[in-house]
Amino acid sequence: MRVLVLGSGGREHALAWALRRSAAAQEVICAPGNAGMRGFRRLPVDVSDPAAVVALAREVQPDLVVVGPEEPLARGVVDALTACGVRAFGPSQRASRVESSKAYAKQLLRRARVPQPEHRIFDRAEDALRWVRSQGGRCVVKADGLAAGKGAFVCQDAREAQAALASLMLEGKFGEAGRRVVVEEYLEGEEVSALAFVDGECVVPMVLAQDHKRLLDGDRGPNTGGMGAVAPLPHVPASVAEAIRRHVLEPTARALCEDGAPFRGVLYAGLMLTREGPKVLEFNARFGDPEAQVLLPLLDSDLAGVLLAACEGRLDSVRLRWRSGAAVCVVAAAAGYPDAPAKGQVIEGLEDPSGTDRLVFCAGVEERDGRLVTAGGRVLNAVGLGQDVQAAREATYRVFERVRFDGMHYRTDVGGRVLEAVGAQG
């Protein structure tokens, strides 16, 4: 089977790497990929342009297209490929609204009776502020549309909320994506990422993962696209994972079918585990980045086989197998990330940084004068595997004994919450 992976980040590098291990996939092509994905054939394409993707697929003749990022899904790339008879893994434009419109996701959840924070949707900043004040000020303000994971503002009081509302709705920080906002109740608890392969009503959950969204150690600083991840989560009981499947993932998949938008792809629920049970903070219509970088190395099942089964409506026959142990991913970011990442810094130590327990996936990387240089905010993903989270974490940080670039920064506490919680339990 020839597989075409669309996208250019660390998630897509991890997908390509996992697909290449698949017995079912003879050839893996990345479009456009990035210069750090050595060993893969790479072809240029604008992944968000359905016509361009279809033209590429006609040329390459893949047996399967795997869509990594959200933008092409929201633009209808899967619909365009399907219409031309190309098998594509990822939801339709309609189904991907669970991610591309937070307002739609909220309404869907309400109909499906899936627990979520108290919230309101606003088109006018004054109305939003009035509600925030009536609720005591502490809240989360979110852009309705896609904002690369940076569109949520956790506000401690009405003054912070006012600033967030002004930057989204009046100054247009994320353009049209932020003209409409969702304002919601602030929830306390442990945050987890629950991803599942979904085809219509059939839901096959993966092990749970935890993202590290804030820029700095101790969950401080602004929200980012994700600074690290860990999986599985030994401190979260199996009964909670089961509750997430029964009360979140399955009802959501059913509600999408009832909406005439059956979901085929990876459904990702970002959840807060509150005292009243899991509540949904957001949905994504794809693998998380950097969650994919820890989940895929742990997956023992043949990835291409699983994706193909989903495309062919055979997901109900799939039982996922997982390797024992844990994986930790630490994102190395460029100076200035997330606002204005510095580009063009030479990356050293990438020649052969991986031992058997270590991997490096590349994201914001390009080639200049024969050398790999930084080309984006999240530059590299160091991934370590081990018998438990502690061992995986040690393996991960060893990557940075060799790999470096000017201005490189990363969180030093990835997996720390898991270790603390396991310590407290044990």
Q: Which residues bind ligand AMP (CB under 6 A)?
A: 117, 140, 142, 149, 152, 154, 184-187, 191, 213, 223, 270, 281-282
What is the DSSP pairing of strand 2-7 with strand 27-32? parallel
d(CA 81, CA 83): 5
DSSP state of 316: G
Residue with the closest Cβ to ligand AMP?
152
Pairing of strands 139-143, 181-184: antiparallel
Beta-carbon contacts of 64 under 8 Å, excluding residues fewer than 6 positions away, are: 1, 2, 3, 4, 25, 87, 88, 89, 304, 307, 308, 311
Whose Cβ is closer to ligand AMP: residue 33's or residue 149's? 149
Q: Which is nearer to ligand GLY, 100 or 284 (CB)?
A: 284
Give the shortest CB-230-to-ligand AMP separation in angstroms: 14
Helices assigned H by DSSP within 360-415: 389-398
Task: Give the residue with the Cβ less far from ligand GLY, 62 or 415.
Answer: 415
- Cα–Cα distances (Å) from 54 to 58, 90, 93, 177, 342, in that order, read 6, 15, 15, 26, 34
State the virtual CA torsion across 177, 249, 388, 425 in degrees, nearest 10. Answer: 100
Nearer to ligand AMP, 25 or 108 (CB): 108
Smaller CB separation from ligand AMP, 34 or 116: 116
Across-strand partners of 329?
229, 383
**What's the closest the beta carbon of residue 147 comes to ligand AMP, in angstroms?**
8
Q: How far is the CB of 187 from ligand AMP (least distance, A)?
A: 4
In the complex with ligand AMP, the residue whose CB is nearer, 82 or 167, is 167
Give me the least distance between CB of 278 and ligand AMP, in Å please: 13
Q: Which helix (H) or strand (E) covers residue 371, if one does?
A: strand 371-374
d(CA 420, CA 393): 13
How far, in whole angstroms, is CA 406 from its chain's centroid? 26
> Cα–Cα distance between 58 and 52 in angstroms, integer?
10
Q: Which is nearer to ligand GLY, 158 or 230 (CB)?
A: 230
Which residue, 60 or 331, is less far from ligand GLY as judged by CB?
331
The partner in contact with residue 145, picked from ligand AMP, ligand GLY, none with C-beta cut-offs of 5 to 8 angstroms by kind, is none
- Residues between 175 and 214 with contacts to ligand GLY, criterion CB under 6 A: 211
**Nearer to ligand GLY among residue 7 and residue 149 (C-beta):** 149
Minimum CB separation of residue 153 from ligand AMP in Å reads: 8
State the binding partner of 87 from ligand GLY, ligand AMP, none, CB within 5 to 8 A by kind: none
Residues 26-46 as b or e (16 or more Cβ within 10 Å = b):
eebbbbbbbbbbeebebeebe
Pattern 289-318, ligand GLY, x by CB under 6 A? x-x---------------------------
Q: How far is the CB of 79 from ligand AMP (least distance, A)?
A: 25
Min CB(318)–ligand AMP separation in Å: 28
What is the C-alpha separation between 200 and 269, in angstroms, rounded?
16
Does residue 288 bind ligand GLY (CB under 6 A)? yes
The smaller minimum CB distance to ligand GLY, of residues 148 and 257, is found at 148
Tell me which of ligand AMP, ligand GLY, none is bound by residue 364, counting a contact when its beta carbon lies within the kind-specific cut-off of 5 to 8 angstroms: none
Region 211-270 residues binding ligand GLY, contact defined as CB under 6 A: 211, 226
Stretch that binds ligand GLY, among 80-88, 107-115, 281-289, 347-355 (CB under 6 A): 281-289
Stretch (H or E) spanning 379: strand 378-386
Smallest distance, ligand GLY to C-beta of residue 133, A = 30
Helix axes 102-112, 250-258, angle to 10 degrees: 100
Query: Which CA distances in Å does 414 have to 154, 290, 390?
Result: 21, 12, 10
Please give, one letter per residue, the 3-state secondary structure of 263-276.
CEEEEEEEEEEECC
**Smallest Cα–Cα separation from 419: which of 381, 388, 384?**
388
Instruction: By CB under 6 A, tell whether 12 contacts ligand GLY.
Output: no
- Contact region for ligand GLY (CB under 6 A) — 82-90, 284-292, 358-366, 392-400? 284-292
Interface residue with ligand GLY, options 50, 62, 149, 364 (CB under 6 A) = 149
Distance CA 361, CA 381 (A): 5
Chain contacts with ligand GLY (rule: CB under 6 A): 149, 211, 226, 284, 288-289, 291
